[in-house]
Amino acid sequence: MARQSMREEIVDAAVAQFHSKGYNAAGVKDITDAAGTPKGSFYNHFESKESLAVVALERYGASRRLQDLAASDIAPLVRLRKHFEFLRDETVDAGFARGCLIGNFGAEVADHSETIRTGVRESLGHWASMISGALVEAQQAGTVRADLDPEKTARFLLNAWEGTLIAARSSRSGDAFDDFFDTAFGTLLAPHSEQAQP
């Protein structure tokens, strides 16, 4: 099996290092050591750690399986719930550690780097647009209230999810996940037929 390019090895290592240590604690040498590449080769591929962080965000975003939110062979609310269940299970399997790299960067670095702030904003925007698309389909199918604004609701769900991850990591328990699923899918996105009748 052919070895992947040095650039790809650095990006993969950066995602892992940034995710486990945070942006500031993960130095270029940590990343190149983890990639098994010489530190001097880093600047052949990236202008700075900051520019690598933006690529790492893109790589991490690609691993969120956002394309599943558009899987037309699965009912929209089912695919949306499965999406968050996948993310929950990933966090539980990691021992309630690490959280979401996008949210982590937003909390740690966005105030200090316009480049990373833009990357976080764009990552969250793309994610929200995929969720919004599923909500529009659910409205068209009559399984979500027609008066919900899909874009605002998608952003709210993401904001609630990022807060849920912080609570789950702090408590090292799944209670926050239970609250998220009960409120998001049991109340906010409850099937149309379960909405209170006038």
* Fold annotation for 6-58: Arc Repressor Mutant, subunit A (1.10.10)
Q: Which two tokens stand for residue 18?
A: 């940034």
Provide the token pair at 1.
């099996």
Measured from the Cβ of residue 87, the count of other Cβ atoms closer than 10 Å reads 17
Q: Which CATH fold topology does 65-191 show?
A: Tetracycline Repressor; domain 2 (1.10.357)
Closest CA to 144 of 79, 83, 188: 188
User: pTM to 2 decimals?
Assistant: 0.91
Measure the CA–CA gap between 96 and 155, rounded to whole angstroms. 23
Element containing residue 156 per DSSP (H, E): helix 150-171
Write the CB contacts of 166 (distance below 8 Å, at least 6 apart in sequence): 99, 103
Q: Are 192 and 144 in contact (CB under 8 A)?
A: yes
Query: SS3 for 53?
Result: helix
List pLDDT tens digits, range 109-164. Answer: 989 999 999 999 999 999 999 999 999 999 999 999 999 999 999 999 999 999 99
Per-residue pLDDT of 62-113, as tens digits, reads 999 999 999 999 999 999 999 999 999 999 999 999 899 999 999 999 899 9
Say which DSSP state 63 is in. T
* Residue range(s) occupied by CATH 1.10.10.60 in the chain: 6-58
d(CA 31, CA 13): 6
Name the segment(s) of the chain with CATH classification 1.10.357.10: 65-191
